[in-house]
């Protein structure tokens, strides 16, 4: 679907102006939104607007990095919205000329709709023109990153509160790490783009707007820091889990070893005197049974003492 | 609560001047402190002072990075105090004009109170004006980071002295790592802000004040280094703990294996001659019992020798 | 094999012009492709074209990094194609003068053939000359990196869907990591070369072509990011696998330890009363057998309770 | 203790000149050394020399980073000596004016004493003045870092020669890692200071002295490289130790598992025929005993073959 | 030994000119090689050539980083040859003036000898003078790094082909890692030196020679990349080995646990009915033996099913 929004010379907003009528209208500025365009509509980027083939190609293909290209009569931005469900980025392409803005995106985007409504309803914005609208879109898209990041922080806090030796713990941590990686793929290139916008010589951003773009840049810096910091927290969690497991394993094996080492030799001795040889003199001694019980007790006690001496019981403290 | 401190033309300090009276007073400079303001007071940032909406928005929201924004008649600083208990950062916002300073913070801050008292009591400071007061606040906030960092160093030293195979050791190390991460979140962005202040062209810091800001920057560099170095110490501790556990596990398993491997076959032999078959010729041999004892001893000795040859006893040295 | 492609003054394309005829032809520009040359052909770089000995040496040797060298009458590029099977890089050497391009490669390359065909069939390109052809080759080579990278992403996604405790899992992850390393060896130096091309003062790239080279650079940045990100995913997978194994080991050992620790002492007791001493009073007690069964049950229950108290059964939840 | 060294106008060296007499003396240059000053002496930095309060504060406090501050009439250096025993750094503060040098240190330092003696005995140095003395001190302090670094290298070499499965090995490696960390805390900030000295615009180092400072910088670069490289060696050692332990554990557990798995079922069978049921037909078979021995042998051989097939014996090769 | 090589005014090469005769000869340029000099010869650096004391000191001491120092009449290079056996670096010091080159090295170096011979036999070189000879030496030394690096790559490839569960595998990987670290110590500082040479303002390298030095720099970049990449491969190998071990351990322990857990309770039951109490009613039941065999089979089957249900057999797939 293609929708248009035109501010006329008489400072009136018109919607649904067909593309062909645009050149005839004496527009202060206009905004054309390619909202999930079908193929027939998409080719109008080239056929109607005659944008540069490289930029048009970038619109048609996915997997573009956020970027800013300078062309003679317009600037071309590729920016990313964040899909809250998949945490993948959705591409939005902006052509910003001095009196027009063209947006192009294959996914329906709440953020674009909100800006559209706000432009319609807020006369203040009408004065600012196309470049202010492009700021509003970028700002809105970046604001859309926060819920996902905060949700991950909440998940991490929840995990820290739960007991630490569940088997599913590491699955959750791994999922969070993988989400953080996905988020970073969106946030870091956007941060780099905003940095480039702020430091661009060829993009004449008036001083007032600079403050606005710096605000977005601040948000992206903060987001990138939170993501990196949470990655470190998850890697600490994993390491902590491993050392916890390692310590518990020690305790388990010491338990097994002490019990086995004490009883296995004793069981052997019992086995010896359970043999059915005809000629086993000890069996006929009067106190043979009690003597062997004594020997067994002695061996058991000595082994326990030896383990104690070796400090193996310390692990249970 | 809003409190005011005004230096009049006659070089006198007045307190509790209502905001509306400020413009009429011929003040050399004044300081307005929004100390845990309620909503009604907070809106005065906009309504009374007409600060830029982006700066005002930053005051109302948490989770701001330390930063410095330039506006026409004032500079806007966001700086962080460190909450000694939670180790989280508390935001302080500063508007610094040539003859005024406005501070805004939602948490009560000992550091601000101390600077307030010092300004009241020290006539020397009255000459320096608003920008010196802003230095005093930043310096005081950064001084407040040291106790938390030193406390962590003390905890680490304590841990190193205790015995290393307690199960709780890694919990403590993990807590310290997480505290260091929290501290880093406050210290590193503050360090970056101070660097920006020192290298700002648009912030005319007189030469004398430059030395003072460099002093704060030095402190933050030192803090960041200590934090990073302590992170490495904790990660070394964790690795050391893991290799210690791994070595102990080896010892435990060798013990279990030697004892089991020696006695399990012997017990089997004893079991064989404990069977109740009618026709078991060995049982009726005269020296059958003694022969089998000999065979058992031989097997046991050979196995121990084999383990010795394999070097398995070396681990106990 | 050496093939030639000449655009004559009369704007006609000629093929198969022998090298010796080139100087006599009044060519607008020409392209000589050393396509898997034999030794006799290879020496023509020096003998016919008199290129700089260092550049010629670079053509003859493998293991060259992508690079750009400036000589008086031409630029010398070393670029890399990616062998889709081995994931090793294949070297392509380009000499680009203002009216000629010489390509040199020991491996047959589909990418070069495609560009060759496109130049033959597309009159548009004839105007652009040798430097545009060099862009087309580099662009085509870089496009050839994508299938390999996407294939690895697919493999990773497949692995994530399969069950996680196969023994072969880590072999696959290790293979992918090693493929990523190979790809990075090709992609990163190419990215650095493109960066150098874009920022070269001495390489006069006209503004139009700059956009094209930036497009290639964008692709390489994207590729490098995907590779780095996938390396992190594989390292997360490996760490996750290790912690999963560690957790499972805990469960296994707890099972073994509980069963062993409960039954080994009981078996010992049974062994004691299986001994054949003449004088064992308990054997003749009326309810001796039942008492001992009771004692055994008691010991077993107590041990299970003790393990339960210690939380060892939590691991099975 | 405060000691003084004055070069008079007549090119004579005088010692033990009281501070008050210094201004009256027509000194070419003089050196005042605050050698482990008591509190009364320390305040003279402020009271006698009127140095800047920030610099004086830095002298009184420990935990300063090496640094260089510019003041109107002098430069202020903080540099570090290395305590050979604790490997902690000791602070030395230098005030260097065009005709004086003031050194301040709370620890007695062999390096300062050596420079003092060399200045006294070497007339050559008398011409060079205060800035050359400051170079001599810094150079001497840095020379003092080498023995500690070389000693660690020796320890590492020794460790590599010893047998690798001692339990104490990792303790030693851990100690070395911790020593390297301490050394790095001294060396890296000093290296950064020297870099700053070499690249300072405001510090007019004459060309000749530049070569000397570069020499010190080279030493610090080398030291930092050795430290970093040794950190990597220790971390390789630790990883190697862990994989060695892991491999040995495998061998141990395979031994235990093979022996247990073979004999535990056999012992069970022996146990069955050791039961005392009245009606156990097999017991009365003529060759029952020999048949069961045959069955046991068969089971044992089959299990060993199965383990062999599974490749479990490969680990002993 | 000191050897000399002089190009006279008449464009003739003379060898074995004594040092004292050098000033009298009207040499176009000359090369003096201190080839493993004894102490008496070494002092001639100072006594005959009067080189700067810092440079001379660097010649006498080992453990110097590759570097370039500018002196008034000459440049001073420290460069490194690689000892193919120890993989340690050997220092070569070069003094390069406009009409002379002095080389100084304590180890006999094949590379220097080769350059010496080539200078003698190749008239072409005679024109280029001392700075071209210095390039030839540096180029030759760097060429000498390749065999060691390639040999390590071969070793790695061999290791990858061998079976992966030998105990000696990690020893070999560890040795290779340590060799790579040694190589990096030589290659990286040399790379940094070449970078500095290429970007030096004060070293007037004529344009032609620049291409040659860039060629050496390219080689060093490539070497550094191979080394870093091989370090990552070895660390991947180690991690893979650990996860392989961890997986195998799981399999071993599951085997042990299943067999033990099934038979230990059964053996206990057999032990119970092997007791010799007078009053054990079950023993006299007609089908007591067969009932207990049935119970044992049931328990065994149930336990195996339970393990199957828990997925413990999956590990053998
Ligand atoms: Mg594109
Ligand atoms: Mg697109
Ligand atoms: Mg926003
Ligand atoms: Mg913000
Ligand atoms: Mg990361
Ligand atoms: Mg870290
Ligand atoms: Mg904001
Ligand atoms: Mg705020
Ligand atoms: Mg302070
Ligand atoms: Mg200070
Ligand atoms: Mg860190
Ligand atoms: Mg480290
Ligand atoms: Mg070459
Ligand atoms: Mg080549
Ligand atoms: Mg392309
Ligand atoms: Mg693209
Ligand atoms: Mg990587
Ligand atoms: Mg990471
Ligand atoms: Mg201070
Ligand atoms: Mg001090
Ligand atoms: Mg020195
Ligand atoms: Mg390190
Ligand atoms: Mg490193
Ligand atoms: Mg490394
Ligand atoms: Mg030196
Ligand atoms: Mg030397
Ligand atoms: Mg070479
Ligand atoms: Mg080359
Ligand atoms: Mg490395
Ligand atoms: Mg690195
Ligand atoms: Mg890596």
pLDDT (tens digit, 9 = 90+) per residue, A36-74?
Answer: 999 999 999 999 999 999 899 989 987 667 888 888 889
pLDDT of residue C167: 63
Q: Is A288 left (phi over 0), alpha (psi -120 to 50) or beta?
A: alpha
Nearest-angstrom CA–CA distance, B287 and A73: 111
**What residues 103-122 of chain A have any CB closer than 8 A to a CB of chain C?**
none
ipTM of the modeled complex: 0.80
Tell me the residue length of chain E.
317
> Is A39 contained in some domain?
yes
pLDDT of residue B239: 85
Residues ≥6 apart with Cβ < 8 Å to E261:
C255, C256, C259, E303, E307
How many folded domains does chain E comprise? 2
Greatest CA separation for chain E: 125
> Is the sign of the CA dihedral C284, C290, C293, C299 positive or negative?
negative
**Given an 8 Å threshold on Cβ–Cβ distance, is B215 in contact with D283?**
no
- Between C72 and B269, residue with greater pLDDT: B269
Q: Which residue in A166, A267, A284 is closest to C268 by CB distance?
A: A267
Minimum CA–CA partner of A256 in chain C: C257
Which chains lie within 8 Å of chain C at 3 or more CB pairs, if any?
Answer: A, E
- Between E113 and D314, residue with greater pLDDT: E113
Q: Are B137 and B93 in contact (CB under 8 A)?
A: no
* Token digits of residue C153: 């992403």
Which ligand neighbours the alpha carbon of E211 most closely? 28
**Given an 8 Å threshold on Cβ–Cβ distance, is D271 in contact with E275?**
no
| A165 band by pLDDT with thresholds 50, 70 and 90 | low
DSSP chain B: -EEEEEEETTS-EEE---GGGTTTS-EEEEEEEEES--HHHHTHHHHTT---HHHHHHHHSS-PPPEEEE-SSEEEEEEEEE-TTT--EEEEEEEEETTEEEEEESS--HHHHHHHHHHHH-HHHHHH-HHHHHHHHHHHHHHTTHHHHHHHHHHHHHHHHS-TT-TTHHHHHHHHHHHHHHHHHHHHHHHHHHHHHHT-SSS---HHHHHHHHHHHHHHHHHHHHHHHHHHHHHHHHHHHHHHHHHHHHHHHHHHHHHHHHHHHHHHHHHHTT---S--GGGGSTTHHHHHHHHHHHHHHHHHHHHHHTTGGGGG-
The residue among E125, E146, E162 that closes a domain is: E125
The per-type count for chain C, helices as H runs and strands as E runs, is 10, 7
| D211 band by pLDDT with thresholds 50, 70 and 90 | confident
Looking only at the bridges linking them, the beta strands covering C67-70 and C74-82 are: antiparallel
Q: Are A101 and A133 in contact (CB under 8 A)?
A: yes
Least reliable range by pLDDT among C127-131, C157-161, D17-21, E236-240: C157-161
Mean pLDDT of D94-118: 94
CATH no. for residue E268?
Answer: 1.20.58.340
Unique residue bearing structure tokens 């994530």? C160
**Given an 8 Å threshold on Cβ–Cβ distance, is B266 in contact with A261?**
no
**Given an 8 Å threshold on Cβ–Cβ distance, is B261 in contact with D264?**
no
- Domain with C304, as residue range(s), is 250-316
Which chains lie within 8 Å of chain B at 3 or more CB pairs, if any?
Answer: A, D
- DSSP percent split of chain C into helix, strand, coil, nearest 5: 60, 15, 25
Asked if C288 is an interface residue toward chain E (Cβ–Cβ < 8 A), one would say yes
| A292 band by pLDDT with thresholds 50, 70 and 90 | very high
Minimum CA–CA partner of A224 in chain B: B65
Least reliable range by pLDDT among B248-257, C58-67, D202-211: D202-211
Residue C247's CB is within 10 A of a number of other CB atoms, namely 22
Asked if C16 is an interface residue toward chain E (Cβ–Cβ < 8 A), one would say no
Residue by residue, pLDDT tens for chain B (317 residues) are 899 999 988 888 999 899 888 888 788 899 999 999 999 999 999 999 999 998 999 899 876 678 888 888 899 999 999 998 888 889 999 999 988 999 999 999 999 999 999 999 988 888 888 889 999 999 999 999 999 998 998 888 888 777 655 667 778 888 899 899 889 989 999 999 999 888 877 777 666 688 889 889 989 998 998 999 899 889 888 888 888 888 888 888 899 999 999 999 999 999 999 998 988 898 998 999 999 999 999 999 999 999 999 888 887 77
Least reliable range by pLDDT among A151-160, D218-227, D251-260: A151-160
| A93 band by pLDDT with thresholds 50, 70 and 90 | very high
Q: Which residue in E54, E255, E263 is closest to D215 by CB distance?
A: E54
pLDDT at E165 > cutoff 60: no
Nearest-angstrom CA–CA distance, A261 and A263: 6
pLDDT of residue E301: 95
The residue among D125, D142, D166 that closes a domain is: D125
Nearest-angstrom CA–CA distance, D2 and D19: 9
Mean pLDDT of E27-32: 92
Looking only at the bridges linking them, the beta strands covering B67-70 and A67-70 are: unpaired
DSSP assignment letter at A315: G
- Between E159 and D267, residue with greater pLDDT: D267
> Is A154 contained in some domain?
no
Half-sphere exposure of C21 toward its Cβ, with a 13 Å CA cutoff?
A: 11
> Is C216 contained in some domain?
no
Q: Are D292 and B287 in contact (CB under 8 A)?
A: no
With the CA atoms of E153, E158, E159 and E160 taken in that order, what torsion angle do they form, in degrees rounded to the nearest 10?
90
Unique residue bearing structure tokens 């001392």? E130
| D108 band by pLDDT with thresholds 50, 70 and 90 | very high
CATH no. for residue E57?
Answer: 3.30.460.20
Nearest-angstrom CA–CA distance, D135 and D75: 13
Mean pLDDT of C78-105: 92
**What residues 237-276 of chain B have any CB closer than 8 A to a CB of chain A?**
238, 241-242, 245-246, 248-249, 252-253, 255-256, 259-260, 263-264, 266-267, 270-271, 273-276
Q: Are D146 and D223 in contact (CB under 8 A)?
A: yes
Tens of pLDDT, residue by residue over A209-260, are: 888 898 899 899 989 989 998 998 898 888 888 888 888 888 888 999 999 9
> Is C23 contained in some domain?
yes
Chain C nearest-CA distance from E186, in A, is 20
Please give the helix or strand (H or E) that residue A199 lies within, else none. Answer: none
> Is A119 contained in some domain?
yes
Residues ≥6 apart with Cβ < 8 Å to C262:
C300, C303, C304
pLDDT at A94 > cutoff 90: yes
Q: Which residue in D254, D267, D278 is closest to E252 by CB distance?
A: D254
Q: What are the chain E neighbours of C238 within 8 Å (beta carbons)?
A: 239, 243
With the CA atoms of B10, B16, B19 and B23 taken in that order, what torsion angle do they form, in degrees rounded to the nearest 10?
-10
> Is C62 contained in some domain?
yes
Mean pLDDT rounded to a whole number for chain C: 89
A interface mutation test: which of B52, B263, B273, B292 has the most A CBs within 10 A? B263
DSSP assignment letter at A256: H
B interface mutation test: which of D243, D255, D281 has the most B CBs within 10 A? D255
Nearest-angstrom CA–CA distance, E275 and A87: 68
> Is the sign of the CA dihedral A37, A43, A49, A53 positive or negative?
positive
> Is the sign of the CA dihedral D158, D160, D163, D168 positive or negative?
positive
Q: Are E107 and E90 in contact (CB under 8 A)?
A: yes
pLDDT of residue D164: 59
Half-sphere exposure of D15 toward its Cβ, with a 13 Å CA cutoff?
A: 8
pLDDT of residue E22: 85
Q: Which residue in C71, C170, C263 is closest to E244 by CB distance?
A: C170
Which chains lie within 8 Å of chain A at 3 or more CB pairs, if any?
Answer: B, C
Q: Are A280 and C278 in contact (CB under 8 A)?
A: no
pLDDT of residue E78: 94
pLDDT of residue A304: 94
**Given an 8 Å threshold on Cβ–Cβ distance, is E185 in contact with D260?**
no
Nearest-angstrom CA–CA distance, A258 and A311: 12
Residues ≥6 apart with Cβ < 8 Å to E56:
E45, E46
Tens of pLDDT, residue by residue over E73-85, are: 899 999 999 998 8
* Token digits of residue B202: 């648009």
Q: Which residue in A214, A233, A265 is closest to B263 by CB distance?
A: A265
Q: Which residue in B174, B259, B289 is closest to A261 by CB distance?
A: B259
Minimum CA–CA partner of B296 in chain A: A272
Please give the helix or strand (H or E) that residue E119 lies within, else none. Answer: helix E110-121
Tens of pLDDT, residue by residue over C103-122, are: 999 999 999 999 999 999 98
> Is C169 contained in some domain?
no
The residue among E99, E125, E151 that closes a domain is: E125
Distance from residue B205's CA to the centre of ligand 9 (Å): 17
| A25 band by pLDDT with thresholds 50, 70 and 90 | confident
Q: What are the chain C neighbours of A289 within 8 Å (beta carbons)?
A: 275, 277, 279-280
- Kindly list the distances between the CA atom of residue A29 and the CA atoms of A32, A130, E207, in Å, as whole numbers in the listed order: 10, 7, 55
Tens of pLDDT, residue by residue over E191-215, are: 999 998 888 777 776 666 888 898 8
Q: Which residue in B221, B260, B280 is closest to D256 by CB distance?
A: B260
Q: What are the chain B neighbours of D282 within 8 Å (beta carbons)?
A: 277
3-class DSSP state of C103: strand
Asked if E195 is an interface residue toward chain D (Cβ–Cβ < 8 A), one would say no
**Given an 8 Å threshold on Cβ–Cβ distance, is B178 in contact with A312?**
no
Which ligand neighbours the alpha carbon of D228 most closely? 22
pLDDT at C187 > cutoff 70: yes
- Kindly list the distances between the CA atom of residue E165 and the CA atoms of C174, D311, E170, E241, in Å, as whole numbers in the listed order: 15, 10, 9, 8
Mean pLDDT rounded to a whole number for chain A: 89
**Given an 8 Å threshold on Cβ–Cβ distance, is D259 in contact with B260?**
yes
Mean pLDDT rounded to a whole number for chain D: 89
The per-type count for chain E, helices as H runs and strands as E runs, is 10, 7
Which ligand neighbours the alpha carbon of A90 most closely? 2
Nearest-angstrom CA–CA distance, A154 and A140: 23
Mean pLDDT of C277-297: 91
Question: Taking Cα atoms as reference points, which of C233, C168, E247 lies closest to residue A175?
Answer: C233
3-class DSSP state of A213: helix
> Is A141 contained in some domain?
no
Q: What are the chain E neighbours of D219 within 8 Å (beta carbons)?
A: none
């Amino acid at each position: 679907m293609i929708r248009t929004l035109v501010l006329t010379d008489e400072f009136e907003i018109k919607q649904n102006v067909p593309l062909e009528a645009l050149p005839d209208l004496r527009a202060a500025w206009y905004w054309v939104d390619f909202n999930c365009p079908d193929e027939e509509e998409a080719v109008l980027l080239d056929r109607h607007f005659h944008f540069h083939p490289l930029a048009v190609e970038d619109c048609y293909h996915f997997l573009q990095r956020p970027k800013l290209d300078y062309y003679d009569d317009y600037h071309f931005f590729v920016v990313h919205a964040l899909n809250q469900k998949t945490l993948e980025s959705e591409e939005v392409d902006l052509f910003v000329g001095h009196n027009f803005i063209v947006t192009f995106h294959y996914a329906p985007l709440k953020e674009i709709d909100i800006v559209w409504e706000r432009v319609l309803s807020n006369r203040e914005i009408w004065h600012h023109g196309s470049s202010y609208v492009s700021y509003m879109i970028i700002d809105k898209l970046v604001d859309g990153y926060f819920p996902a990041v905060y949700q991950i922080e909440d998940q991490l806090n929840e995990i820290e509160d739960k007991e630490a030796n569940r088997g599913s713990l590491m699955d959750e941590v791994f999922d969070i790490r993988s989400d953080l990686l996905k988020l970073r793929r969106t946030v870091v290139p956007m941060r780099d783009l905003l940095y480039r916008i702020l430091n661009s010589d060829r993009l004449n951003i008036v001083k007032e707007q600079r403050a606005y773009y710096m605000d977005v840049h601040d948000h992206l810096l903060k987001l990138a820091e939170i993501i990196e910091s949470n990655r470190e927290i998850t890697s600490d969690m994993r390491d902590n889990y491993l050392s916890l497991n390692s310590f518990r394993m020690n305790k388990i094996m010491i338990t097994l070893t002490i019990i086995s080492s004490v009883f296995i030799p004793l069981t052997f001795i019992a086995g010896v005197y359970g043999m059915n040889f005809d000629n086993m003199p000890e069996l006929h001694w009067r106190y043979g049974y009690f003597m062997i019980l004594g020997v067994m007790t002695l061996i058991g006690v000595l082994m326990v003492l030896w383990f104690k001496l070796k400090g193996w019981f310390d692990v249970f403290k």
